[in-house]
């Protein structure tokens, strides 16, 4: 009897964990959705003006390869436009629904 109650308690705790938003399956699904969105930085390389295609509601943080913070933008449509960047290599981190994907781009 005690073994069957212990087994039921164990099964109940597993099913509760499987339904939380913090579990690994949900996080992998969110990461896959963001990856399927095809975040594109174009043109790459650029002569100073770039367009970043990202999902509505995403946060995009841009830093230089030297670690200089350029800025953070909230995506209102399907991306945003940056102009006037100096020569160098930059990294954009796109965060959407708790998941982050990075892209590198070059300004000549």
The tokens for 19 are 């339904």
Question: Are 30 and 75 in the same domain?
Answer: no
Report the pLDDT averaged over residues 1-25.
57
pLDDT in tens, 71-102: 998 888 767 788 888 899 999 999 988 888 89
Q: Which residue has the higher pLDDT, 45 or 27?
A: 45
Contact 88, 64 (CB under 8 A): yes
pLDDT band at 68 (very low <50, low <70, confident <90, very high): very high
Please indicate, yes or no, whether residues 69 and 99 belong to a single structural domain of this protein. yes
Q: Which residues pair with 60 in a beta bridge?
A: 73, 94
Q: How many domains does the chain have?
A: 2
For residue 13, name the pLDDT band (cuts at 50, 70, 90).
low
Full strand arrangement of the beta sheet holding 40-42 = 40-42, 50-53, 80-82
CATH for 55: 2.60.40.10
């Amino acid at each position: 009897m005690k073994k069957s109650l212990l087994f039921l308690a164990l099964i109940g705790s597993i099913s509760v964990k499987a339904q939380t938003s913090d579990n690994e399956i949900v996080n992998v699904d969110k990461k896959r959705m963001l990856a399927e969105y095809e975040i594109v930085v174009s043109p790459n390389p650029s002569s100073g003006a770039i367009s970043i295609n990202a999902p509505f509601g995403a946060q995009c943080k841009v830093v230089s390869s030297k670690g200089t913070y350029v800025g953070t933008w909230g995506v209102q449509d399907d991306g945003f436009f940056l102009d006037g960047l100096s020569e160098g290599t930059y990294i954009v981190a796109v965060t959407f629904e708790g998941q982050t994907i990075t892209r590198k781009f070059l300004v000549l």
